[in-house]
Amino acid sequence: MRNAHPGLPELDYVKPGSLEEASKFLAAHAGESRPFLGGTDCIVRIRDGAWKPKYLVDVKGLEGTTGISFDPAKGLTIGAAVPMNKVAAHPDVQKHYPLLVEACNWVASYQLRSRATIVGNVCNASPAGDTIGAAICLDGVLNVFGPDGYRKEPLTTFFFGPGKTALKPGDIATSIFFPLPPKESAGKYLKLGRNRLGDLAIVGVTAFAYKDASVASGYRFRIALASVGPTPIRPTAAEEILAKSIDESAVEAAAQAAMDSCTPIDDTRGTARYRKLMIRNLTRQAVSAVLAQLKK
Ligand SMILES: Cc1cc2nc3c(=O)[nH]c(=O)nc-3n(C[C@H](O)[C@H](O)[C@H](O)COP(=O)(O)OP(=O)(O)OC[C@H]3O[C@@H](n4cnc5c(N)ncnc54)[C@H](O)[C@@H]3O)c2cc1C
C-alpha cells in the first residue's frame, strides 16, 4: 500500500538575520526555497510530498514580524509571526475587530492556533482559509518587503488562484494592517465543516456591514465566500442588493446572488451543488445575524 505520509525529506533550515538577507536568499533560490512562519501548511505539504523545497527560510522574528499594535487614529497592525491565539486574546482586537477574533477561533484547534498565523493563512491562499474572508471584509493590506524594498498589497487584488498570489520570489510579508472599522459596524463568520475541530471549510461565509446613510437601505455590506472557487469570492451583486434594501425578500435575493456568484467543485468534502445551496443558506444566516447586531 502507498504511504500517504512518507515523512519529511531532507532539507536545509535557513535562519536569516535580516529582511534583506532573507529576501536575497529567497530571490536567489526561487523555486527551491520557501519562507515560513508557523509551518502548519508548509510542513504538512512537504511531508506529503506536494512541495519539495531545498530550503525552508524561517522569517519569524525578522523586523516588523512580531507584535500587535493598535493606533486609535489609524488601525491595527499584526506582525506576520503572531500566532492566531495571541491575536484572538488581544484586548484591542477583541474590542475593535471582533470579526477577526471569530474567524481565528474557527481555525482547527487551540493547539494549532498556537502556531498558525493570519499572514500564513493569507499567503497560503487556500480558497478555504478561514481568516481570509474577515481579512478581506476588514480591508486588510499586507506589508511586504521584497527585492525592491517595502510595498503594500491590498487583499482585494492579492489572490490569483489556489496558492497563487501577488507575491514574487524574494517577497516576505512582514505584517498585515487593518484600518479602523467604520463606526457602528458588525460582522459574522459562518463555517460549515464536516466536524467542529480541525476540518477545512466545505463552505464559509463572512458578512460585515456598517451603517451608511448615503445608501437607500442605510447599510453597506461586504461579503466574502470561502471554498467555492479558486480564490475567495466577493459577491458584489449581493452587496448591491443589500445597499438598496434589507427587507426579507432583499436578504433572500442577496443570498441567491451570492449562490450564483460561486464556481465550486465536487471533492471529498462536498459536491458543487451542495456547496452552492449551503452558500445561499449561510449567506442568509450571516446577513441576518449582522443586521440583528446592528439594530440592537
Ligand atoms: C491539522 C491542521 C488543521 C488545519 N485547519 C485549518 C482550518 O480549520 N482553517 C484554515 O484556514 N486552515 C487550517 N489549516 C491550515 C493552516 O494551519 C493555516 O493556513 C495557517 O494559518 C497557516 O499559517 P502558518 O503560519 O502556519 O503558515 P506557514 O505554513 O508558515 O506558511 C503558509 C504559506 O505562506 C507562505 N508564507 C509564510 N510566511 C510568509 C511570509 N512572511 N511572506 C510570504 N509568504 C509566507 C509559505 O511559504 C506557505 O506557502 C490547518 C492545518 C493543519 C495542519
Q: Tell me what pLDDT residue 82 has.
A: 98
What CATH code is carried by the domain that includes residue 43?
3.30.43.10
Ligand 1 contacts CB of residue 115 (under 6 A): yes
Note whether 280 and 215 are same-domain residues: yes
pLDDT at 198 over 90: no
Cα gap 66→81, rounded to integer Å: 6
Ligand 1 contacts CB of residue 120 (under 6 A): yes
Q: Average pLDDT of the chain? A: 96
Q: Tell me what pLDDT residue 3 has.
A: 65
Ligand 1 contacts CB of residue 34 (under 6 A): yes
Q: What is the pLDDT of residues 269-280, one digit of tens each?
A: 899 999 999 999
Q: Tell me what pLDDT residue 92 has.
A: 98
Note whether 207 and 243 are same-domain residues: yes
Note whether 194 and 171 are same-domain residues: no
- 197-214 average pLDDT score: 92
Q: Tell me what pLDDT residue 243 has.
A: 98
Rg (CA), the chain: 19
What CATH code is carried by the domain that includes residue 252?
3.30.390.50
Ligand 1 contacts CB of residue 87 (under 6 A): no
Q: Tell me what pLDDT residue 296 has.
A: 84
Enumerate long-range contacts of 154-160, CB under 8 Å, 24 or more apart.
155/122, 156/234, 158/122, 158/125, 159/125, 159/132, 159/231, 159/232, 160/125, 160/231
The minimum-distance atom of ligand 1 relative to the CA of 51 is 49
Q: What is the pLDDT of residues 121-170, one digit of tens each?
A: 999 999 999 999 999 999 999 999 999 999 999 999 999 999 999 999 99
Q: Report if residue 133 sits inside a domain.
A: yes
Note whether 89 and 49 are same-domain residues: no
Helix (H), strand (E) at residue 44: helix 42-47
Cα gap 4→47, rounded to integer Å: 9
Nearest to 282 by CA among 226, 232, 231: 226
Note whether 224 and 124 are same-domain residues: no
Note whether 77 and 53 are same-domain residues: no
pLDDT at 4 over 90: no
Q: Which of 193-202, 221-230, 245-254 has the lowest mean pLDDT?
A: 193-202
pLDDT at 6 over 80: no
- 58-85 average pLDDT score: 98
Ligand 1 contacts CB of residue 129 (under 6 A): yes
Ligand 1 contacts CB of residue 39 (under 6 A): yes
Residue of the CA atom closest to atom 2 of ligand 1 = 198
Q: Tell me what pLDDT residue 258 has.
A: 98
133, 205 contact by CB (below 8 A): yes
Q: How far is CA 198 from CA 108, 208, 253, in A?
A: 4, 25, 33
pLDDT at 5 over 90: no
- 260-275 average pLDDT score: 94
Residue of the CA atom closest to atom 1 of ligand 1 = 198
Cα gap 56→279, rounded to integer Å: 37
224, 132 contact by CB (below 8 A): yes
Q: Tell me what pLDDT residue 2 has.
A: 61
Nearest to 151 by CA among 160, 159, 143: 143
Ligand 1 contacts CB of residue 59 (under 6 A): yes
What CATH code is carried by the domain that includes residue 131?
3.30.465.10
45, 193 contact by CB (below 8 A): no
The minimum-distance atom of ligand 1 relative to the CA of 173 is 42
From the CB of residue 268, how many other CB atoms can be counted at a distance below 10 Å? 6
Q: Tell me what pLDDT residue 135 has.
A: 98
Note whether 79 and 140 are same-domain residues: yes
Note whether 41 and 96 are same-domain residues: no
- 215-228 average pLDDT score: 98
User: What percent of the chain is modeled with pLDDT above 70?
Assistant: 97
Domain count, the chain: 3
Ligand 1 contacts CB of residue 224 (under 6 A): no
Q: Tell me what pLDDT residue 138 has.
A: 98
Enumerate long-range contacts of 60-64, CB under 8 Å, 24 or more apart.
62/16, 62/18, 62/19, 62/22, 62/172, 62/174, 63/18, 63/19, 63/174, 64/19, 64/143, 64/145, 64/174, 64/175
Note whether 119 and 143 are same-domain residues: yes
Note whether 189 and 174 are same-domain residues: no
Cα gap 174→184, rounded to integer Å: 30
Instruction: Point out which residues pair with 233 in neighbouring strands.
Output: 225
Residue 220 C-alpha cell reads as 453597506
Residue of the CA atom closest to atom 11 of ligand 1 = 129
- 190-208 average pLDDT score: 88
- Show which of 124, 152, 179 is a domain's final residue: 179
Helix (H), strand (E) at residue 56: strand 55-58
Domain of residue 52: give its range. 12-58
- 46-75 average pLDDT score: 96
Query: How many angstroms is it from 247 CA to the middle of ligand 1?
Result: 39
Q: Tell me what pLDDT residue 279 has.
A: 98
pLDDT at 194 over 90: no
Cα gap 124→159, rounded to integer Å: 10
CA angle, residues 250, 256, 290, in degrees to nearest 5: 55
Higher per-residue pLDDT: 247 or 198? 247
- Show which of 179, 202, 226 is a domain's final residue: 179
Note whether 192 and 257 are same-domain residues: yes
Close Cβ partners of 5 (under 8 Å, ≥ 6 residues apart): 47, 48
